[in-house]
Amino acid sequence: MTALIGMFKLFADSIMWAGLWAWRLSTAPFLFIWWFVKSIGLAVAATPGILWRLPIRGYRRLIRVRDWLLARVEYLQAESAKWKTTFNIMKSPYSLLRGMGFTPQMAASLLIGASAVTSGVVVNETLLSEPSFARGDPGQYEAPHDAPRVVAVEGYNTLRIDLGTTPVSEIDISNVSIGNVYTNSALPSGATTAIDVGGSGVANTYLEVGTLIFERNRCDTLTLTDVRAHKLTIEDNASDGQSIAPSAGTIRNRTVIGGHHQAEKMGTQGGTYDRLWIQAPTSTVNGKIDKLTISNAYTRGGGCWLHRIKAGEVVIRLNEVGMGNGLVLKDFTVETSVTASVITQTGNVEVLMARAATVTADS
């Protein structure tokens, strides 16, 4: 009986298995058609999203490639500039001493002293053969030349920079003494300004400057006339009387672009001059400087004058101005001919300020 029941279950299972496979085989084509139709439908439904995201993903990948490439280029440029500076310092002992913070006079004295022999003093003829702007020597320079174009004669102590057709990327003059700051010194004959920066009315020229920074300077008077800037910032200046009255204008922002022929930085510090004069003397040819910085200039005996300048940004900051003549006379003046699109004035104060004292020159 048990065997008969087992055979019956086996037969029933066989019938069910056969029926199941018959069902699967009969419905397989329909299931395949349903899967195919569903896949097509999902693909069609997903296509707009893929097409929408494809440009964004492609653009992001392009950005990653661009950023990777620019990072390498910037790194190589920075390394190139560092090596260039290193070689310039190594080839000139004077530049090395100046880079360490020595004044031009002290650096020259050390080099001359280091060359002393028993029979006297030997001077490096190559080093001291001609004046140099980078070394802080006075003279009449035609930007971007480091040596004076007009040979400086004995007694000529003006630092003069003439700008012409060649744009300069940067001029930086800092830590200098100008005018009669030393006992028995004087301004050049006929001069009334210790610092004169600007174009020429006679030559009908302007200075075109991307950014002009005039900061931490000591002046008898400070006057701005005919300055046209996109952004003008006058802040934290202390003066023995002041009249700050710039006019609102619609001045475009600007920079100075010169391509491969644009001169590199001209910089000097630590010099002593009877006058600083930056001008554009060639008729109808504007001088062009992308960045002009004059800082920590100690002047006496004449005013500081900024005039006939077209700039992207002008910053007049942390200067001390005064001759000790009281607050009624305005030693710091920004005339109405100074115009700007964006004007910021803050922290400027009138304070009784005596004229800068003279000091005794180093013996």
Taking only the tens place, the pLDDT of each residue in 282-304 is 999 999 999 999 999 999 999 99
Residue predicted with more confidence, 316 or 41:
316
Percent of residues, the chain, with pLDDT higher than 90:
42
47-79: pLDDT as tens digits: 776 666 777 777 788 888 888 988 888 888 888
Residue predicted with more confidence, 58 or 254:
254
Least confident interval from 37-46, 97-106, 231-240: 97-106
Query: Nearest 5°: phi and psi at 338?
Result: -85, 120
Residue predicted with more confidence, 119 or 306:
306
331-346: pLDDT as tens digits: 999 999 999 999 999 9
Q: What confidence score (pLDDT) does residue 108 get? A: 57
Q: What confidence score (pLDDT) does residue 153 get? A: 61
Distance CA 350, CA 357 (A): 20
For the cut 50, the answer to whether the pLDDT of residue 349 exceeds it is: yes
For the cut 50, the answer to whether the pLDDT of residue 32 exceeds it is: yes
Residue among 172, 252, 178 nearest 215 (CA)? 172
Residue predicted with more confidence, 155 or 321:
321
First to last CA, the chain: 137
User: Predicted confidence band at 121 (pLDDT cuts at 50, 70, 90)?
Assistant: very low
301 to 196, 259, 275: CA distances (angstroms): 13, 40, 10
Distance CA 244, CA 238 (A): 12
For the cut 50, the answer to whether the pLDDT of residue 315 exceeds it is: yes
Distance CA 293, CA 161 (A): 14
User: Predicted confidence band at 91 (pLDDT cuts at 50, 70, 90)?
Assistant: low
Residue among 226, 291, 224, 225 nearest 258 (CA)? 291
For the cut 50, the answer to whether the pLDDT of residue 128 exceeds it is: no
User: Predicted confidence band at 152 (pLDDT cuts at 50, 70, 90)?
Assistant: low
* Average pLDDT over every residue of 9-38: 76
Q: What confidence score (pLDDT) does residue 279 get? A: 95
Q: Which residues lie closer than 8 Å to 171 by C-beta, 6 or more apart?
A: 143, 161, 265, 266, 267, 278, 289, 291, 292, 293
User: Predicted confidence band at 306 (pLDDT cuts at 50, 70, 90)?
Assistant: very high
User: Predicted confidence band at 122 (pLDDT cuts at 50, 70, 90)?
Assistant: very low
Q: What confidence score (pLDDT) does residue 157 get? A: 87
For the cut 60, the answer to whether the pLDDT of residue 127 exceeds it is: no
For the cut 80, the answer to whether the pLDDT of residue 26 exceeds it is: no
Distance CA 238, CA 348 (A): 6
Return mean pLDDT, the chain: 82
Distance CA 33, CA 53 (A): 30
Q: Which residues lie closer than 8 Å to 215 by C-beta, 6 or more apart?
A: 293, 294, 295, 315, 316, 317, 318, 319
Give the pair of three-digit tokens for residue 263.
């001169």
Encode the chain in three state secondary structure. Answer: CHHHHHHHHHHHHHHHHHHHHHHHHHHHHHHHHHHHHHHHHHHHHHHHHHHHHHHHHHHHHHHHHHHHHHHHHHHHHHHHHHHHHHHHHHHCHHHHHHHCCCCHHHHHHHHHHHCEECCEECCCCCCCCCCCCCCCCCEEEECCCCCCCECCCCCCCEEEEECCCCCEEEEEEEEEEEECCECCCCCCCCCCEEEEEECCCCCCCCEEEEEEEEECCEECCEEEEEEEEEEEEEECCEECCEEECCEECCCCCCCCCCHHHCECCEEEECCEECEEEEECCCCCCCEEEEEEEEEEEEEECCEEEEEEEEEEEEEEECCEECCCCCCCCCCEEECCCCEEEEEEEECCEECCCCCCCCECCCC
Residue among 271, 281, 305, 268 nearest 194 (CA)? 305
* Average pLDDT over every residue of 103-120: 50
Distance CA 25, CA 30 (A): 10
For the cut 50, the answer to whether the pLDDT of residue 363 exceeds it is: no
User: Predicted confidence band at 261 (pLDDT cuts at 50, 70, 90)?
Assistant: low
For the cut 50, the answer to whether the pLDDT of residue 104 exceeds it is: yes
For the cut 70, the answer to whether the pLDDT of residue 168 exceeds it is: yes
